[in-house]
Amino acid sequence: MRGAAPGGPRGTEVPRGDLLRLPLVGRFLRWRRARLAVQLCMGALAVVLVVHGLFGPTLAPKNLATLLVWVHWRGALVAALLLLGNVFCFGCPLLLPRELARRVTRPVRRLPRALRTKYVGLALFVLVLFLYEWLDLWASPAGTAWLILGYAGLALVVDASFSGAPFCKWVCPIGQFNFLASTLSPHEVRVRAPEVCDACATKDCIRGRRVPAPAPAAPARVVQRGCELDLFLPRKVGNLDCTFCLDCVHACPSDNVAIARRVPAEELLGDETRSGLGRLGRRRDLALFVVVFTFGALLNAFGMVSPVYAFQSWLADVLGTRSEGVVLLVLFALCLVVLPLVTLGPAALLARGRARVGLGEHVTRFVWSLAPLGFGVWLAHYSFHFLTGLWTFVPVAQHALAQAGVELLGKPRWGLGGLTEAQVWPLELGFLALGTLGSLSLTWRLAKRDFPRRVAAAFTPWAAVHLGLAASALWLLAQPMEMRGTYL
């Protein structure tokens, strides 16, 4: 995307590759009911998963809940983030109950200020990772179904109690994962021509489009809401906190919104004040999520290779306990707290040198360089499960219909699988290599931005961390990995 320098004011050129201008895709996205249509389809699928999870086969590889959630959905999620953007949040079915509830009651209270940070979503993200391992959710159809129901219930309670979209912005752990991963996506919702926004008096993209009420004393009626995540489009930078809901597209009276191509991770170079986010260099909650996002990718992969069992056994002996929960808590603390401290702390001290910038501020600025590598690990890991089990949903769906007395799809073809491990391995290496190169490139540019007189000295310690983490990821991916959730 051509225009101004990364992180600076937008250029005046028309964005390239605007998805809203494509003949078929653009027409669908401009349709006001497009998101609802996708949400209804996803909602119907979620109902099927819950029903099959609770009442279908207890064997995970033959149950749609465990197979589609832990194998296919996660793989499709990261692939969509890589190729398009935050597609899942666009079609998230969890908002349907909220929309129905708001036809009855319209909350006016804001979420308490103390909770308006990413720490809530971060805690829930770690909790889901922990429960996944502790309760073996990948092997529990009923547990997976209850997780879906609990997730939907939490979304309904939060958004039915507070105005705006607090669940999406502050609470949803999947949403926080998507926001961070979408900084590496190739598309961005942005204005087409900044000068059109400068001349706009109504600011409908943030306030919503309104029409006068029939009675003179009554308030204006909102016919199309604006951005509920408080992202004022002319001041919006990148994809952080953007759910791709396209409310701004439908609210803008000047048709001045685009879903444009851009350089992935470009938004992480600037430290200007952003609408709805402030300055990234001062958002320690977001910086901490980047750390957990990256080290959590390694932890999640480590939980699926055989060396983890030997390590857990040794850890249990050291702790003098046989409680799996206690052992996992210690493992999580080691991977998500101790390991980041002993790697990022020395790197920050060496890179900062004698600069006057505080250590915490330096870490908050540079920790964003971990994001490409972290996303590369998630991509490599999830693509392995997704591609090796690509067609396994077909016989499971056939079996589910047959159990319901419907022979529409014929007899289950249990021989269907996916790509071989040898075929997937080059893709895993490619994703990991792209993530590593992205982190190294981003680190170099951050060093040039913050330490123009000692770029190499600031770059080297952080680069050593990236290469060390990449080597660890390579070792993990080279281990035989459990085929969780499939019968392969």
Q: What integer is the mean pLDDT of 371-388?
A: 96
Residues 107-117 pLDDT 10s: 889 999 999 99
Q: Quickly state the pLDDT bin for 484 (edges 50, 70, 90).
A: low
Residue 424: strand, helix, or coil: helix
Residues 193-208 pLDDT 10s: 999 999 999 999 999 9
Specify the pLDDT at position 5. 38
Q: Taking the domains of the chain in order of start, what are their residue ranges?
A: 1-31+187-261, 34-186, 287-488
Q: Quickly state the pLDDT bin for 7 (edges 50, 70, 90).
A: very low
Region of poorest pLDDT, from 46-55, 177-186, 383-392, 477-486 = 477-486
CA distance 220 to 210: 6
Specify the pLDDT at position 476. 94
Residues 82-96 pLDDT 10s: 999 999 999 999 889
